[in-house]
Structure 1
Amino acid sequence: MTVDVFTDRPFGGNQLAVFPDARGISASEMQALATELNLSETTFVLPPEDPVNTARVRIFTRTAEMPFAGHPNVGTGFVLADRAQNGELRFEEIAGLVQVRLERDVTGAVTGATVDAPQPLTVGVTLPLDLAAACAGIVPDGIVTAVHMPTMVSDGGNPRLLLEVTEAAMTAAAPDLAAFRRTVTDTPSLGGRLSLYLYRRDGAGLRARMFSPLAGTWEDAATGSAATLLAGFLLFLSGAERGAWDITQGVEMGRPSFLRSTAQRTPGGIRASVSGGCVPVLRGEATLPDAIVP
């Protein structure tokens, strides 16, 4: 089944494919299916290892398995809404246990979900302006440094490099694959991975773009795991106890997306969540060498 995530209408938001019963599909077949579908992520649902949980969920990009991601969890929660207990689902993932809370409209129909990042915020290394700007295809002056330098952050999923940019830089940005490759080669602390999340202030909210060409995603329409990182990082910088931010992403791609992110300080660190709507689009089956998989 495919759904558009972080939107209230078809053909907006971020596309996701979900295999609701992936029993019998090998890891190599999962990767092949994700590559074949050519979406930013595809999820495969398996029985949980602990029966108290809802399911074990594996998330694949076009090129690799991911420990956690935002829009795949929101979308998978939407697809598996009939398995919820008291409006909640618990997904076992590489990054840890992910809790998904369903959202409903006034009629009781499921419209989307809220997902908590599986781990507290971790603030990592900063990157030089020239490297970050080259990867984003912008001039160094397009990066705003009044509050922070380009900074790597994580909360259990893929680490992201967060850049605050000017309005002009946001519009002009385009990932430079050669610069991404050089930066990863010259910066061993990145562990061979690099994704950029550009943001700017836009009235009371935020505008964002995400580039991850090394993982096969030239640009992402909506990045829930980056939204939790940004919320947690902005709270970290502000010193406040809690905060909430509305983020618009995907406009430049023609797939406008709307994400609601929150963060709060806890005894275990800064924890963040992201919420958004979902719309079902397609339903079908995949043909594998020895089976038809519904």
Structure 2
Amino acid sequence: MTDYAIYDVFTGTALAGNPLAVVFGADHYSDAQMQAIAREFNLSETVFVLTPENPAHSARLRIFTTARELPFAGHPTVGAAIAVAGRRLGGEVPANGMDMVQMLEEAIGPVRCAVRISPDGAGFAEFDLPRLSRQLEAEIAPADIGVALGLDPHEIGFENHRVSLWSAGVPFVLVPVHDLAAAAKAECSAAEWERVAPMGDGHLAFAYVYCRGGVNHTSSFHARMFAPGDGMPEDPATGSAAAALSGAIHHFDGLTEGNHALVIEQGVEMGRPSLIHLHIDCAGTEVSHVRIGGKAVRVAEGKLLV
């Protein structure tokens, strides 16, 4: 029997955010078994915690959607970091909380995470991007993207933000829209998206719709993510998309030297509001460092009998 837990990630409130299955002690599972277990949980992602290859590291992670393995993803990194830290403490959390630093091995490379475990049960984790966002070459027709997402041409784009393809390990077509109403209107046709979406890093890019502001007054951007080809009609919180967006924000907004602290809200239209913290550090005119963080809360636990 193998222990597992379900966490709601990028939220401090149960039954909000993005649910994640965390399977502990998963060294004995084959690739096929991990994929089958991910399909069984039927969540956007399931993360398997294995013994690290480097004994100085905290854990090795393998991340699966219901359709395939991912080299990197944000909400599994945040959720697994908090889950691994909580197990290490064995539930004995000091009254003032506990801070720790973890190094997690993912297919994309080592990922450094700072974790804070709170006695109220919600944790917070922030990780350094293992790979900075970069723009990928692609021929993208905004009109075709609009048809696939049910958006009119005048609703796409704001200020100097334009449709573009970016990746920090997972590729996304970033689709800026005029306002919250346009974002709420978006609906992704799986057939149309497969027809018009470009490839990036060897995979069909996902759709990430965003605009400035948000329902929450602290939000810098409001976002929605669609990945119908991976069994996700819509995802309530996507750290890898926020990672990709960091490059576009720097490119289109011309960020200046220093730290830029942003908050991205997602999942509002799904009734699972999420808040993703994004920090972009610039040295001169270039991005030098990016961090993504958020809360997570455990909502269930159990044992796999396979």
TM-score calculated relative to the size of structure 2: 0.86
Partner of 2:95: none
Q: Could you list the runs of 5+ residues in structure 2 that have no partner in the other structure? A: 90-97
**Is the CA contact 2:171–2:200 (under 8 Å) kept in the aligned structure 1?**
no
Amino acid in structure 1 at the alignment position of 2:55: P
Corresponding residue SS for 1:40: coil
Residues 113, 179 of structure 1: CA spacing in aligned structure 2 closer, same or farther, 3 A cutoff?
Answer: same
Alignment of 1:212 onto 2:227: yes
Query: Which of 102, 113, 125 lines up with 1:100 in the alignment?
Result: 113
**Is the CA contact 2:35–2:67 (under 8 Å) kept in the aligned structure 1?**
yes
Aligned 1:160-171 pairs, distance under 5 A = 160-166=172-178, 167-171=180-184
Amino acid in structure 1 at the alignment position of 2:232: T
Corresponding residue SS for 2:302: coil
Q: CA deviation at 1:74?
A: 0.4
**Is the CA contact 1:48–1:54 (under 8 Å) kept in the aligned structure 2?**
yes
Corresponding residue SS for 1:247: strand
Query: Which of 113, 121, 130 lines up with 2:143 in the alignment?
Result: 130
Which whole-Å CA distance do the structure 2 matches of 1:272 and 1:154 have between them?
Answer: 13
Query: Which of 11, 23, 26 lines up with 1:22 in the alignment?
Result: 26
Alignment of 1:181 onto 2:197: no
Alignment of 1:158 onto 2:170: yes
Q: CA deviation at 1:98?
A: 0.8
Q: Could you list the runs of 5+ residues in structure 1 that have no partner in the other structure? A: 289-294
Q: CA deviation at 1:128?
A: 1.4
**Is the CA contact 2:166–2:247 (under 8 Å) kept in the aligned structure 1?**
no
**Is the CA contact 2:261–2:277 (under 8 Å) kept in the aligned structure 1?**
yes
Residues 130, 4 of structure 1: CA spacing in aligned structure 2 closer, same or farther, 3 A cutoff?
Answer: same
Partner of 2:255: 239
Partner of 1:257: 274
Residues 44, 188 of structure 1: CA spacing in aligned structure 2 closer, same or farther, 3 A cutoff?
Answer: closer
Which range moved further: 262-271 or 144-153?
262-271
Query: Which of 195, 200, 209 lines up with 1:198 in the alignment?
Result: 209
Partner of 2:292: 274
Aligned residues: 284
Q: CA deviation at 1:188?
A: 5.5
Deviations 1:57-105 (A, max 9, x none): 0000010000000000000011111449961111111111111111345
Which whole-Å CA distance do the structure 2 matches of 1:53 and 1:191 have between them?
Answer: 29
Which range moved further: 127-136 or 54-63?
127-136
**Is the CA contact 1:235–1:243 (under 8 Å) kept in the aligned structure 2?**
no
**Is the CA contact 2:148–2:189 (under 8 Å) kept in the aligned structure 1?**
yes
Corresponding residue SS for 1:58: strand
Which whole-Å CA distance do the structure 1 matches of 2:299 and 2:116 have between them?
Answer: 19
Q: CA deviation at 1:110?
A: 5.8
**Is the CA contact 2:146–2:153 (under 8 Å) kept in the aligned structure 1?**
yes
**Is the CA contact 2:82–2:115 (under 8 Å) kept in the aligned structure 1?**
yes
Residues 79, 188 of structure 1: CA spacing in aligned structure 2 closer, same or farther, 3 A cutoff?
Answer: closer
Which whole-Å CA distance do the structure 2 matches of 1:62 and 1:88 have between them?
Answer: 30
Q: Alpha carbon RMSD of aligned pairs, Å?
A: 2.2
Deviations 1:126-180 (A, max 9, x none): 521112212222112211153132111111x211111110232201101111111
Q: CA deviation at 1:233?
A: 2.3
**Is the CA contact 2:18–2:75 (under 8 Å) kept in the aligned structure 1?**
yes
**Is the CA contact 2:121–2:298 (under 8 Å) kept in the aligned structure 1?**
no
Residues 270, 216 of structure 1: CA spacing in aligned structure 2 closer, same or farther, 3 A cutoff?
Answer: farther
Which whole-Å CA distance do the structure 2 matches of 1:161 and 1:37 have between them?
Answer: 27
Partner of 2:245: 230
Which whole-Å CA distance do the structure 1 matches of 2:100 and 2:120 have between them?
Answer: 11
**Is the CA contact 2:279–2:291 (under 8 Å) kept in the aligned structure 1?**
yes
Query: Which of 20, 40, 47 lines up with 2:44 in the alignment?
Result: 40
**Is the CA contact 2:167–2:200 (under 8 Å) kept in the aligned structure 1?**
no
